[in-house]
Chain A
Amino acid sequence: EVQLVQSGAEVKKPGESLKISCKGSGYSFTTYWIGWVRQMPGKGLEWMGIIYPGDSDIRYSPSFQGQVTMSADKSITTAYLQWSSLKASDTAMYYCARHGGYYEIDYWGQGTLVTVSS
């Protein structure tokens, strides 16, 4: 059974750094793109970018390029999303998302709520 299990909710202050994780299991982690989707409170879904754990190829959405860093550790089948300096506007739910053969999102993590507040 394919599973994506994300790290728990975070409460941070503006300017702090953060790294959230997504552990994949039940499939070949290195042969599927895995990405991140943001959902701000009461808003729609925003595709942030994807990484191919097999060779760490990364494609960022221009809207998120330079704002976040994606990475993956294939030895522990875990993908990461990190910020070096959080802003209040980063407050959102973040979902990790496996992309299938047609680049559809065929599996979703349960979400990690990130709250940034002074």
Chain B
Amino acid sequence: DIQMSQSPSSLSASVGDRVTITCRASQRIDSYLNWYQQKSGKAPKFLIFAASNLQNGVPSRFSGSGSGTDFTLTITSLQPEDFATYYCQQSYSFPYTFGQGTKVEIK
């Protein structure tokens, strides 16, 4: 299985801050990397596919980058509704594993 590792596991940030979350794969996955947002008690929400492509309706303050083994999710100007847990997932090979999640909390 491909292992996905996110860092940090949690972070505290203020409204308006720029936030970067890193996701690393245990082997090369080209650009088969997706990002999801999950708020407490809710189903995850799809944000980004193929490393850098925003799902329709996702605000442009979200962006993704990377290829191979190293990827980032960036939120420019954090908004109150962005406080949540973020997961990366590889869809390069079965099983399509998730990272352990990064919880973004209010400072």
| Residues on A facing B (Cβ under 8 Å) | 37, 44-47, 49-50, 59-63, 95, 99-100, 102-111
Closest CB-CB distance, B54 to chain A, in whole Å?
12
Report whether A104 and B101 are in contact in the complex, using a CB–CB cutoff of 8 Å. no
Interface SS of chain B: loop
Complex: chain B residue closest to A98, CB-CB: B46
| Residues on B facing A (Cβ under 8 Å) | 1, 32, 34, 36, 38, 43-46, 49-50, 55, 87, 89, 91, 94-101
Closest CB-CB distance, B17 to chain A, in whole Å?
24
Q: A45-B44, A105-B44, A108-B44 are in contact. Are A61 and B94 (CB under 8 A)?
A: yes
Report whether B95 and A61 are in contact in the complex, using a CB–CB cutoff of 8 Å. yes
Complex: chain B residue closest to A6, CB-CB: B43
A95 to B38 CA separation, bound complex (whole angstroms): 12
Report whether B49 and A104 are in contact in the complex, using a CB–CB cutoff of 8 Å. yes
Interface SS of chain A: strand
Chain A residues lying within 8 Å of B46, measured Cβ to Cβ, are: 104-108
Q: A61-B94, A95-B43 are in contact. Are A105 and B50 (CB under 8 A)?
A: no
A-B contact pairs, 19 of them (CB 8 A): A37-B44, A45-B98, A47-B96, A47-B97, A47-B98, A49-B95, A59-B94, A61-B95, A62-B95, A99-B91, A100-B49, A102-B34, A102-B50, A102-B91, A103-B96, A104-B46, A106-B49, A107-B46, A108-B46
